[in-house]
Amino acid sequence: MSELRKLYNTACEAVQTAADAIEKASASADMAPLRAALDTAVAEATRCRSNLEAAQVRTQFKAISFKLAAPTTLGMSDKDLRGYSLIRAIRAASTGDWSQAELEREASDAVAKMVNRSPQGFFVPTDVLIEKRDLTKGVFVQGGALVETDLRAESFIDMLRNRMVVRQAGATVLSGLVGDVAIPRQTGGATAFWVAESGAPAETRQSVDQVALSPKTVGAFTDISRKLLLQSSIDVDRFVRSDLATVIALAIDLAALHGTGVANQPRGIASTAGIGVVIGGANGAVPSWAHVVGLETAVAIPNADVGSLAYITNARVRGRMKTTQKVATTDSVMLWETNVSPLNGYPAHVTNQVASDLTRGTGSGLSAIFFGNWADLIIGHWGTLDVLVDPYTGGAAGTVRVIALQDVDIVVRQPASFSAMLDAITT
């Protein structure tokens, strides 16, 4: 902020210097270059003022975010954290007897008090993270693999998953929200006027609107056999909660990029009106240097090229870019370089969460490329994970269904902060 204010002050001094030069010029002097210098100085001062005003709004937004983002962790001691067992809480919830799960019940009650609402089942602390996968002892690939006598838990092989990247790219996360949330956003600034010596500028005002967030629920469940809960030699507690948490986090990450805004989904970047759009062609196009630069330019033109700027795309696009020259036939440098800022001098994150099944015209199997200031992507969390235990659906088979629910919403604070190419050919 102080640097922006210094730049603005310097620009204002340049305007004054240019104006003084015109005033002191003799009647025979060539005024054209002096007026041009004044126009340039005024344009620069106007740009600096806009940047300063935008920074002031961002500062106000951060202050509001800080007030909203009350943490939902309980500050449990290391001993309590080691002693907390999700499986024990599941058993207690399935039987209704919490006498052997007092710690877990107290943790749920404390979270309920913090978020000011009751759980559907029981709450778990935010740092205890919890996909839809049926786990049974009798079927090897569905849980039986976890009950071998000499099982090496430390060598457990997790499934391959898409990477979660929007937070890594710099998305803003608001936690501990209560009720619907409205965040103020500046949409326009004051207007400057040229006036006569005795004139006065007209009054103008900044304009603002609001960015609204309201909770939408994402959930996942797994069916666990009673024998697996009792006999497994691996840390089933950690395995179950980690698996559920990962799939929910992946769903939120995917919604941030491609959420439709309908059918109970949040609205992601690709579906947000007002973002910059780079179109490859009527039926798509192989990504080129012009497309990459075009994504950056679409964000830079509205002065949104500040903050956590980065590209996000999928492995197919990266593979194609690694074999595509920047300048065909004359340049051995590829679009995707081998350094920490491999794409157009910016960080580039890769995840197969980014769609590779898009269509345009007759083109199909097209991929997306996003660019923007990821700090302007807001992910709001209401409370913490709500775990509902259903001992009845699979009661005849002796299984317990564990359902994990999380209330979230996603909003793009400034659509101009993002651009997308949604028709990249990679084959």
Question: Distance between CA 132 and CA 110 in Å, rounded?
Answer: 28
- Show the tokens assigned to 427: 């084959």
User: 347 near 310, Cβ under 8 Å?
Assistant: yes
**CATH fold for the domain made of 70-187+202-427:** Major capsid protein gp5 fold (3.30.2400)
Cβ within 8 Å of residue 246, ≥6 positions away: 129, 131, 161
- The structure tokens 């954290």 sit at 81
- Show the tokens assigned to 233: 């030699």
Question: Distance between CA 325 and CA 72 in Å, rounded?
Answer: 49
- The structure tokens 């730049």 sit at 7
For 89, phi then psi, to 5°, come to -65, -40
The β-bridge partners of 371 are 311, 419
User: 338 near 301, Cβ under 8 Å?
Assistant: no
User: 407 near 219, Cβ under 8 Å?
Assistant: no
Note down pLDDT in tens along the chain; length 427 residues: 567 777 878 887 887 887 778 778 777 777 778 878 877 887 787 777 767 666 655 554 444 443 344 456 777 787 887 888 888 888 899 889 999 999 999 999 988 888 888 898 999 887 664 333 444 445 444 445 444 444 444 444 555 667 889 999 999 988 878 778 887 777 777 777 787 777 777 776 667 777 889 999 999 988 888 777 775 544 677 777 778 888 888 999 999 999 999 999 999 999 999 999 999 999 999 999 999 999 999 999 999 999 999 999 999 999 999 999 988 766 678 999 988 899 999 999 999 999 999 999 999 999 999 999 999 999 998 888 888 999 888 878 888 888 989 999 999 999 999 999 999 999 9
- The structure tokens 């806009």 sit at 50
Identify the H or E element spanning 267.
none
Burial label for 267, CB within 10 Å (0-12, 13-18, 19+), is buried
User: 31 near 22, Cβ under 8 Å?
Assistant: yes
